[in-house]
Amino acid sequence: MITEKKKIHLDEVTLMRTILAVMIVTMHSFTCYQGGWSQPEGYIDIPTYKWIARIVFAFTLEAFVFISGYLFAFQRITLCKSDKVINNKLKRLILPSIVFSILYFVVFFEYKGVGNFIYSIVNGCGHMWYLPMLFWCFVGTEILHKIKIGDGWKLLFLILINLFWPYSLPFQIGTATNYIFYFYLGYIVYKHSKRIKESITPQKIIIIWIIFIAVFIILRPLKETIVIGDQNFRLYKLLSVSARGACQLIYATIGTITFYITTVYFTRHRQLNKLTISLASSCFGIYLIHQFLLLGVYYNTNFAAIVGPYWLPWLGVALVLPVSYLLSTILLTTKVGKFLIG
């Protein structure tokens, strides 16, 4: 049991959170160039920006989920905290999702009746889908802990769920089947983190980065060439969706592990500065706030037309990231903010 006098700081998680906060803002700033959002005023197709979006999309969300599983293992194994997990996550994830989804709905959605409103809020409006999805990852992992089989078998089961789960379930339960593998992977990596950290060398980091880049360059275009089957041919549709999912699973897993071991090595040889630590503590708030600002700037002002398509995503990151960080920091100074995003 860790006492108050002896606290453990997971510097690798702090650094990962800081980098991912930048990556998530970058990801959404470039997403309109690969079809994720509608085209802002003055848009033109820029192939380089499409690839930047693809690269940032490669493992950003998966790495976020990985961190949650990693920290969950830290809490259970090192801090011996395993009580009231579901209740805590309802407060930590579902409550902020509901509050910010209501705000998102009011700002960006058209009211189409009470049923539509409730369904949208419960599922998470906009980027808030991530929060109920992550909640179900915690629930699923709690269930997995009660199953007495080896971790390898559990990971294999989650891979199969990721690739072949055929049903679209509400409240982001179906989406969680695509991400719980990364959550449990983070859990397992923490269990073996001491041995993993001791084995990391600069040579290994370089090799695994080369492997990731090569795999991504091959599999990302291949994923685009796989045509989703027609609904009338359900087996082919399932197999084609699974093939695309397999491409994503492979390069996202390698990318996440590569990212993790790089941050581990860096934090073992460098001390983190105050800004990095501060950004990490505001990561959750940055995630919740940034898309409100980006959508407002991109689609509700003349900003896109004024700066032009080549400058738009770069200035989007440069503007939205610090403002999101500032607003998150201010929120954390209030009781309501601490309750929602603390």
Q: Which residues of 170-182 are buried (b: 16+ CB within 10 A; e: fewer)?
A: ebbbebbbbbbbb
Rounded Cα–Cα distance for residues 15 and 169 (Å): 34
Is residue 2 very low, low, confident or very high in pLDDT (cuts 50, 70, 90)? very low
What pTM was estimated for this model as a whole?
0.91
In contact, 293 and 323? CB cutoff 8 Å? yes
In contact, 248 and 216? CB cutoff 8 Å? no
Query: pLDDT by residue (tens digit) across 215-245?
Result: 999 999 888 887 666 655 666 677 778 888 8
The amino acid sitting at 301 is T
Query: pLDDT by residue (tens digit) across 49-90?
Result: 999 999 999 999 999 999 999 999 998 888 877 777 778 888
**Does residue 205 register a pLDDT over 80?**
yes
The SS3 of residue 84 is: coil
Query: pLDDT by residue (tens digit) across 123-174?
Result: 999 999 999 999 999 999 999 988 889 999 999 999 999 888 777 788 999 9
Counting residues of the chain whose pLDDT is more than 90, the rounded percentage is 69
Return the domain boundaries, the chain: 1-57+282-342, 63-191, 198-273
Is residue 111 very low, low, confident or very high in pLDDT (cuts 50, 70, 90)? confident
In contact, 334 and 325? CB cutoff 8 Å? no
More confident residue, 237 or 44: 44
Report residue 89 CA to chain centroid gap. 17
Instruction: Please compute the mean of the pLDDT values over residues 9-26 and round it to a whole number.
Output: 94
- Fill in the DSSP letter of residue 37: S
